Amino acid sequence: MSENTLTRMDLSEAVFREVGLSRNESAQLVESVLDSISEALVRGETVKISSFGTFSVRDKAARVGRNPKTGEEVPISPRRVLSFRPSHLMKDRVAAGNKS
Amino acid sequence: MIRSELIQKIADENPHLYQRDVERIVNTIFEEIIDAMARGDRVELRGFGAFSVKKRDARTGRNPRTGETVEVEEKHVPFFKTGKLLRDRLNGREE
């Protein structure tokens, strides 16, 4: 698989091509979209983007972990983690596009 | 929050843009991420997270209802890893 990495720049370039706003404003809009999603998640909301996927926040209970190298026990405090569940459309397109 | 609420929020923040342009902007962003992964590319959004493609090897599966074995082909699945900044923010730690 020849793997490239896209960044915010590539997303704003796509917005720039698609809508014809300035590059600067396109970049700001990409940022606003990511910020809005992040803020909703920080408030504990689930973010459900149809035909893309669902971001949800889950609470993890405290547990005792272990340093795998030293075997030492370390307490892991309760925390919130983000999980992303891809939509069927995303799964299908990723599977189809990468079929060898 | 759902897609239409996200679009509405961006539209409210940008009163100089047409609603239909905001829709195209938001859709383009998500579409571009899916297109990249369909090509086998990664999308790395610092502070937010990274979308990538993981390979699942072929395996012999089993129909849980009938117990029958089935060959499952190798496949590629989307994967998201939360960025450090967002992970910290979720836990009430800013920068």
SS (H, E, C) chain B: CEHHHHHHHHHHHCCCCCHHHHHHHHHHHHHHHHHHHHCCCEEEECCCEEEEEEEECCEEEECCCCCCEEEECCEEEEEEEECHHHHHHHCCCCC
Secondary structure class of A49 (helix, strand, coil): strand
- In A, residues 54-73, which contact B (CB 8 Å cutoff)? 55, 57
Q: Are A65 and B49 in contact (CB under 8 A)?
A: no
| Residue B95's pLDDT band (cuts 50, 70, 90) | low
Q: Does B15 touch chain A (CB under 8 A)?
A: no
Closest listed residue to residue B45, CA positions, set B37, B33, B27, B28: B33
Q: Which residues contact B21 (CB under 8 A, 6 or more apart)?
A: A19, A21
Number of helices and strands (H, E) in chain A?
3, 6
The share of chain B scoring above pLDDT 70, in percent, equals 98
Summarised one tens digit per residue, pLDDT across range A20-74 is: 899 999 999 999 999 999 999 999 999 999 999 999 999 999 999 999 999 999 9
| Residue B5's pLDDT band (cuts 50, 70, 90) | very high
Q: Is the pLDDT of residue A100 over 80?
A: no
Q: Is the pLDDT of residue B24 over 70?
A: yes
Q: Are strands B42-45 and A5-6 parallel, antiparallel or unpaired?
A: parallel
Q: What is the mean pLDDT of residues B63-75?
A: 91
Backbone angles phi, psi at B20, to 5 degrees: -70, -30
Give the DSSP letter of residue A98: T
CB pairs under 8 A between A and B: 157
Q: Are B68 and B61 in contact (CB under 8 A)?
A: no
Best mutation site among B4, B14, B20, B32 for testing chain A: the one with the most A CBs within 10 Å?
A: B32
pTM, rounded to two decimals: 0.90
